[in-house]
């Protein structure tokens, strides 16, 4: 099945700096890669996603890049703010059944 690796597990940055989280996937058939932000005890919130026919997507301070050849995708957050502090999960579609397979998560802390 699909295996999604996510790094780093924890990330601490100063407010205003950029944060980058990287994920790799194993199944070359995966074609949808969403990123979720989860605050403690709450549901994951979709923050950005990318499909396999696109190499990069940007939404204000958030961007995602995809390298299909290398099977890795990354989340970039610029001008970080304390409210960006949360756990971020990458995911990949596990085959045609549309079950998301999640990475282990990255706990991001943005300090003022």
Nearer to another protein, 73 or 89 (CB): 89
Q: Contact 30/92 with Cβ under 8 angstroms?
A: yes
Q: Cα–Cα distances in Å, from 27 out to 15, 53, 70, 88, 90?
A: 36, 16, 11, 21, 14
Nearer to another protein, 60 or 98 (CB): 98
103 binds another protein (CB under 8 A): yes
Candidates 44, 50, 73, 74; binder of another protein (CB under 8 A) is 44
Q: Contact 89/38 with Cβ under 8 angstroms?
A: yes
Q: By CB under 8 A, name the binding residues for another protein.
A: 32, 34, 41-46, 51, 89, 93-94, 97-105, 107
């Amino acid at each position: 099945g699909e295996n999604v690796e996510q790094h780093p597990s924890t990330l601490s940055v100063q407010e205003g700096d950029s944060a980058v989280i990287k994920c790799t996937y194993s199944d070359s058939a995966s074609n949808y890669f969403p990123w979720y932000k989860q605050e403690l005890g709450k549901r994951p919130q979709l923050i950005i996603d990318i499909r396999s026919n696109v190499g990069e997507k940007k939404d204000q301070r958030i961007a995602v890049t995809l390298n299909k050849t290398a099977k890795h995708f990354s989340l970039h957050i610029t001008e970080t703010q304390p409210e960006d502090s949360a756990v971020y999960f990458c995911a990949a579609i596990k085959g045609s059944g549309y079950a998301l397979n999640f990475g282990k998560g990255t706990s991001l802390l943005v300090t003022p």
